[in-house]
Amino acid sequence: DTEVTQTPKHLVMGMTNKKSLKCEQHMGHRAMYWYKQKAKKPPELMFVYSYEKLSINESVPSRFSPECPNSSLLNLHLHALQPEDSALYLCASRDAGQSSYEQYFGPGTRLTVT
Partner 1 sequence: AQSVTQPDIHITVSEGASLELRCNYSYGATPYLFWYVQSPGQGLQLLLKYFSGDTLVQGIKGFEAEFKRSQSSFNLRKPSVHWSDAAEYFCAVGPMEYGNKLVFGAGTILRVKS
Contact residues for partner 1 (CB under 8 A)?
A: 2, 4, 6, 31, 40-43, 45, 48, 50, 55-56, 88, 90, 92, 94, 96, 100-108, 110
Q: Is 85 helix (H, G, I), strand (E, B) or coil?
A: helix
CB of 102 to partner 1, least distance (A): 5
- Name 21's bridge partners: 76
Nearer to partner 1, 18 or 38 (CB): 38
Nearer to partner 1, 5 or 18 (CB): 5
Side-chain-side CA neighbours of residue 73 (13 Å): 9
Evaluated on CA atoms 14, 61, 95, 68, the torsion sign reads negative
Nearer to partner 1, 13 or 105 (CB): 105
Which of 95, 101, 98, 111 lies closest to 4, judged by CA? 95
CB of 98 to partner 1, least distance (A): 10
CB of 113 to partner 1, least distance (A): 17
